[in-house]
Structure 1
C-alpha cells in the first residue's frame, strides 16, 4: 500500500528541545455492486465483501522519532439511508436502541501505544483482529468478493484467533522468535458499573482476567510458527457455565512456494450452553505457488457442536467443509480467480450447500482495479447482503468490484 508521509515537528512542552514524529496516511477501499437473485426476484445493490457500503476511509498512524510511542486510527465513512440503527446501553446498563445519522465512524483500529522497553509494547483502545500479529488467516476466492454463508470457519482467523476484545494489549518479545500477547477487556469508562464494552456486563478484576486473551507464538527459522492461546469468554446461565476456548495452530513454511496452516480449537464448558457453541473445531489450509502466474489453494475443517444440538435425524451435532480455489495471472494487470466450497448441514432440506465464484479483475492504475464475476450459493445460503427467499433457494449474483489503495 502506497502511503503519504508527513514529518511533523513540535516543540516539547517546557523544554528547549524538539520532538519529531512521522505521521502516515493510507487507505484501502473495496465496493461491490451489480445484480443478483434471491431465488425469486432480481435485485440491485451495493456492498463490500463484509457488508455495508463504505465509499471512503482514511487510516492514520503516528510514530515517534525514537520508535517508542505512537497511535493508530482508522476513520470510515459508512454510507446509509436515513441513518444507522445502533444498540447502546443507558447508565443502568439497560439496552437502548437508537437511530444515528453519524456516518463518519471509528473503523477497525483506534489505539495508542508506548514501549517502556525494547521487548514490551503496551496499547490501549480498539483493535482489529489482526493487530496481535497472531491471527491465522487463509484468504482466497469468494472471501475477496461477496462472501457466501457456507463456511466452517472464516478465512480471516481460519486456524488461529486474532485480537480478542478491546482494552489493554501487551506484546512481549523476550527473545528472537518468541512473542507473547495478553489482552484484557478494560475498555470501559464506567468504573464499578455495568461494562457495555463486552457482553458479560461486569468489570470486576476477576471478570477482567476471566475474559482475557493469553497467547504466544514461536517461530523457527526455516520451518514455521507454533501458536497457542486461551481466549476467555466466561458466561453463566443456570446450571450451565462456559469458560472460553483453547486454540493451537502451526504454520509450515519449510517448503519453497508451499504454505500450510493447521489449527484446533477446544471449547471449555462445564455444561453445554447452547446448540451452536463449538466443542471441538479442526481447520487447515494449504496454498502452492505453481508458477509466477498460478496459485492453488485448498482449505477445510470439521466442527463438533455441543451435545444439545438437535435437527435432521440428529445429524446437526457436527459439520464439515472443504473448499478449493485458483488464482491466475492472465497477463500483466489482468487476473482471474475461481473457487468452489461445500459445507455439510448448511441449511435447507438437503445435507449440505455449495458456493462458487468465477471472477476477473483488471488494473486501471497502480492504485486501483475494476472486476466482474459470477457467484452462486445453493440450499438457502445467501451472499453478502443477499438473503435467500426460501431456505432451499439458489442465490446468484453478478458482482462488479471497484478497489483502490493509497
Structure 2
C-alpha cells in the first residue's frame, strides 16, 4: 500500500509538471537620429545634432527579458528592461490565479491591456514628435491595469461577456492613504477603482463600458469618469473603433470622443485614419485669457505598403489645432506632423530609415525662437530604427 501511495504521488507530481511551463521572450527598439536640426543656447547658433533615444524619448536601446510562468490555475509575469546603460523592472511583475475557469485575478505591477482600444500606426512606431501622442488607449483606456499596480479581476461568466475591476493599491489619495501605506476601503473602491464590462457580438464587434471612480475635487465635489466604446469587426479587412469618455462633474473639463480605423485594401496596402477631440476644453484665449469652452481636435492618416523581399514603406501625416496641442488658440500653437520611411523586415525584427518633421518647434530638440518669442520653426530629423522580438 505504501508503495502504491508513493507511486501515485510521483505520478501526480509528474502530471502537474507537464501542465506547467516557463517561457522567455524579448522585445526591444532603438532610434538613432542620424541628423536633426537643433539649437545651442550657449553659442546662440543653429546646429545639426545626433543621438540615440526611444520612440517615447527614453534612454536607448531598449533591450528586455520577459519571463512568464503558467499552469492551469497559477502563473506569473516578470519584465526586466535594459534602457541605455540602466536595468530596471519592466511593465509587468505580477502573479495571477484562476480560482475557477471563468475568473482570473492579477496582483502586482500590471500592463496586461485587457480591452484597451489602441490607435497605433505610422510615426507611433518611430519618433513620437509633434502631435503623435496618446495612441495607446485611444478609444478605450487601460482601466483594468489598476493604474499600473494593484489587483485586477477579470471574469468571463459566459461566452462573449467580460466583466472586470481594476483596483489601484499604490497611488496616493490624500487622507485615504494611511501612514503605513494601506488604504481605506472607501478610498479604494469608491474613489480609485474602475469597473468595466464588455460584450463581443460574433460577426459584429465588441461593446465596452467603464466606470472609473475618482477622488473628490479640491472643493469636495464628487466626480466619476464614464467611458464607452465600440469596436466594429463586421466588415472583412476593416477595423473601426469609436470611444468616448466624460467626467460626470460638469466643473471638470475632461470630455473626449476619439476614433480609429484600419482597412486592408489588399495584401500589400493598409490604410489608417485617426480622429480625436477635446470638448469643453480649458485653454488660453489669445484675446480674452483663460476660457473653458474650447474645441480641440486632431486628425490624421497613414499608409503601409509591403513590397517583395520584406521591404515596407510607410507614410503618416497628422494635424492638431492649438487648443488640442497646446491648450491655446494663439498663433503657432498648432501642429502639423508628418513622416515617411522604408523598412526591411526579417523573421524576428526590422531595420529602417525615415524622415520626420513637425511645425512650430514640435521636434525632439529645441529650436531658437524668433525675437518676439514665437516658436514657429519647422523641426526635422532622420531616424534609423532597429527593432527585434524573440
CA contact (8 A) 2:306 2:313 kept: yes
Q: Which residue of 2 aligns with 1:266?
A: 246
TM-score relative to the length of structure 1 = 0.80
User: Number of residues paired by the alignment?
Assistant: 349
Distance change >3 Å, CA 192–CA 395, structure 1 → 2: closer
Distance 2:222 2:384 in 1: 43
Whether the 8 Å contact between 2:246 and 2:256 is mirrored in structure 1 is yes
On the 8 A contact 2:130/2:336 being kept in 1, the answer is no
For residues 300 and 38 of structure 1, do their structure 2 counterparts lie closer, same or farther at Cα, with a shift above 3 Å needed? Answer: farther
User: Gaps spanning 5+ residues in structure 2: where?
Assistant: 1-8, 40-45, 370-374
Counterpart position of 1:287: 262
Is this contact kept in 2: 1:125–1:187, CA < 8 A? no
Q: What is the deviation of 1:188?
A: 7.9
Counterpart CA distance in 2 for 1:169 and 1:137 is 20
Aligned mates of 2:90, 2:224 — CA distance in 1: 27
**8 A Cα contact 1:242 1:271, kept in partner:** no
Are 1:125 and 2:108 counterparts? yes
Kept in 1: contact 2:211–2:227 (CA 8 A): yes
How far does the alpha carbon of each residue in 1:250-286 deviate from its partner, in whole angstroms, 9 at most, with x for none? Answer: 00000111111101110233634xxxxx431011111
Alpha-carbon distance in 2 for matches of 1:349, 1:258: 38
**Deviates further, 180-189 or 104-113:** 180-189
Kindly name which structure, 1 or 2, has the bigger radius of gyration based on alpha carbons.
Answer: 2
* C-alpha distance after superposition, 1:42-87 (max 9, x if no partner): 21111111221244110110002xx11100111001225xxxxxxx
Deviations 1:10-60 (A, max 9, x none): xxxxx6542422101001111001221236332111111122124411011
- Structure 2 partner of 1:404: 388
Q: Single out whichever of 388-397 and 68-77 deviates more from structure 2.
A: 388-397
Question: CA distance change for structure 1 residues 75 and 42 in 2, over 3 Å: closer, same or farther?
Answer: same
Normalization by structure 2: what TM-score?
0.83
Measure, in 1, the Cα distance between the counterparts of 2:164 and 2:258: 22
Deviation at 1:119, TM superposition (A): 0.5
Q: Which residue of 1 aligns with 2:90?
A: 107
- Partner residue, 2:49: 43
CA pair 55-161 structure 1, distance change in 2 beyond 3 A: closer
Work out whether 1:62 is the aligned partner of 2:69: yes
Indicate the SS of the match to 2:124.
helix
SS of residue paired to 1:112: strand
1:394 matches 2:371: no
| Alpha carbons of structure 1 residues 213 and 142: separation in structure 2 relative to 1, 3 Å | same
2:276 alignment partner in structure 1? 301
Shift in alpha-carbon separation, 1:116–1:389, aligned structure 2, 3 A? farther
Matches of 2:379 and 2:220, distance apart in 1: 38
Q: If each structure's helix is expressed as a fraction of its own residues, which one has the higher value?
A: 2
RMSD, aligned CA: 2.3
Per the alignment, residue 360 of structure 1 pairs with: 342
Structure 1 CA distance, aligned partners of 2:280 and 2:367?
A: 25
Equivalent of 2:137 in 157, 160, 165? 157
Cα distance in 1 for partners of 2:296, 2:272 equals 21
**Conserved 8 A contact 1:110-1:125:** yes
1:172 aligns with 2:155: yes
